[in-house]
Amino acid sequence: MLKINIIENNEILLSGRFDAAQEEKAMKAFNEIHETTTINFKDLDYISSSGLGVLLATQKRLSESGHQLKLISMNDHIRDVFRYAGFNMIFEIE
Protein backbone atom coordinates (compact mmCIF):
# COMPACT_ATOMS: atom_id res chain seq x y z
CA MET A 1 0.00 0.00 0.00
CA LEU A 2 1.24 3.48 -0.88
CA LYS A 3 0.58 6.49 1.32
CA ILE A 4 0.93 10.00 -0.07
CA ASN A 5 1.04 12.71 2.60
CA ILE A 6 1.49 16.44 2.08
CA ILE A 7 3.70 17.32 5.03
CA GLU A 8 4.12 21.01 4.27
CA ASN A 9 3.89 23.35 1.34
CA ASN A 10 5.54 21.84 -1.70
CA GLU A 11 6.75 18.71 0.08
CA ILE A 12 5.18 15.29 -0.21
CA LEU A 13 6.09 12.27 1.89
CA LEU A 14 5.71 8.85 0.26
CA SER A 15 5.53 5.69 2.34
CA GLY A 16 5.01 1.99 1.62
CA ARG A 17 5.14 0.38 -1.80
CA PHE A 18 4.84 2.33 -5.06
CA ASP A 19 3.84 -0.53 -7.40
CA ALA A 20 1.45 -1.02 -10.34
CA ALA A 21 -1.53 -1.50 -8.01
CA GLN A 22 -1.00 2.06 -6.75
CA GLU A 23 -0.46 3.72 -10.13
CA GLU A 24 -3.94 5.13 -10.65
CA LYS A 25 -4.25 6.59 -7.15
CA ALA A 26 -0.76 8.06 -7.37
CA MET A 27 -1.31 9.58 -10.82
CA LYS A 28 -4.41 11.32 -9.52
CA ALA A 29 -2.48 12.78 -6.58
CA PHE A 30 0.53 13.80 -8.67
CA ASN A 31 -1.73 15.53 -11.20
CA GLU A 32 -2.49 18.03 -8.43
CA ILE A 33 1.16 19.16 -8.39
CA HIS A 34 1.63 22.34 -10.39
CA GLU A 35 4.93 23.79 -9.16
CA THR A 36 8.36 22.66 -8.00
CA THR A 37 7.81 20.09 -5.25
CA THR A 38 10.05 17.97 -3.08
CA ILE A 39 9.16 14.29 -2.90
CA ASN A 40 10.49 12.76 0.29
CA PHE A 41 11.25 9.03 -0.14
CA LYS A 42 12.43 8.33 3.41
CA ASP A 43 9.55 5.97 4.23
CA LEU A 44 9.19 4.45 0.76
CA ASP A 45 10.29 0.81 0.73
CA TYR A 46 9.88 -0.10 -2.92
CA ILE A 47 9.25 1.35 -6.38
CA SER A 48 8.54 -0.43 -9.68
CA SER A 49 8.44 0.89 -13.24
CA SER A 50 4.81 1.93 -12.67
CA GLY A 51 5.95 4.31 -9.92
CA LEU A 52 8.76 5.56 -12.13
CA GLY A 53 6.18 6.21 -14.85
CA VAL A 54 4.09 8.42 -12.55
CA LEU A 55 7.17 10.44 -11.59
CA LEU A 56 8.29 10.71 -15.22
CA ALA A 57 4.86 11.88 -16.45
CA THR A 58 4.78 14.52 -13.69
CA GLN A 59 8.33 15.68 -14.37
CA LYS A 60 7.58 16.03 -18.10
CA ARG A 61 4.42 18.04 -17.41
CA LEU A 62 6.09 20.32 -14.82
CA SER A 63 9.11 20.95 -17.03
CA GLU A 64 6.85 22.61 -19.59
CA SER A 65 6.25 25.43 -17.08
CA GLY A 66 9.81 25.53 -15.75
CA HIS A 67 9.06 23.50 -12.61
CA GLN A 68 10.32 20.12 -11.42
CA LEU A 69 10.17 17.37 -8.82
CA LYS A 70 13.11 17.18 -6.41
CA LEU A 71 13.63 13.79 -4.83
CA ILE A 72 15.18 13.32 -1.39
CA SER A 73 16.10 10.60 1.12
CA MET A 74 15.90 7.48 -1.09
CA ASN A 75 16.99 4.12 0.26
CA ASP A 76 19.85 2.38 -1.53
CA HIS A 77 17.62 -0.03 -3.46
CA ILE A 78 15.40 2.71 -4.86
CA ARG A 79 18.51 4.71 -5.73
CA ASP A 80 19.75 1.65 -7.69
CA VAL A 81 16.45 1.40 -9.59
CA PHE A 82 16.70 5.09 -10.52
CA ARG A 83 20.26 4.51 -11.72
CA TYR A 84 19.31 1.43 -13.78
CA ALA A 85 16.55 3.46 -15.45
CA GLY A 86 18.79 6.46 -16.05
CA PHE A 87 16.41 8.55 -13.94
CA ASN A 88 19.36 9.94 -11.97
CA MET A 89 20.00 12.06 -15.09
CA ILE A 90 16.48 13.49 -15.38
CA PHE A 91 15.69 14.16 -11.70
CA GLU A 92 17.47 16.21 -9.07
CA ILE A 93 18.16 13.63 -6.35
CA GLU A 94 19.60 14.44 -2.94
Helix (H) or strand (E) holding 48: none
20 contacts other proteins (rule: CB under 8 A):
yes
Q: Which of 6, 7, 57, 72 binds other proteins (CB under 8 A)?
A: 57
66 contacts other proteins (rule: CB under 8 A):
no
Sign of the alpha-carbon torsion through 16, 18, 24, 26: positive
Nearer to other proteins, 5 or 63 (CB): 63
CA distance 9 to 88: 24
What is the chain's alpha carbon radius of gyration, rounded to the nearest angstrom?
12
60 contacts other proteins (rule: CB under 8 A):
yes
Size of the site for other proteins (CB under 8 A): 25
**Three-state DSSP state, 65:** coil
* Residue ranges binding other proteins (CB under 8 A): 1, 17, 19-21, 46, 48-50, 52-53, 56-57, 59-60, 63, 76-77, 80-81, 84-86, 89-90
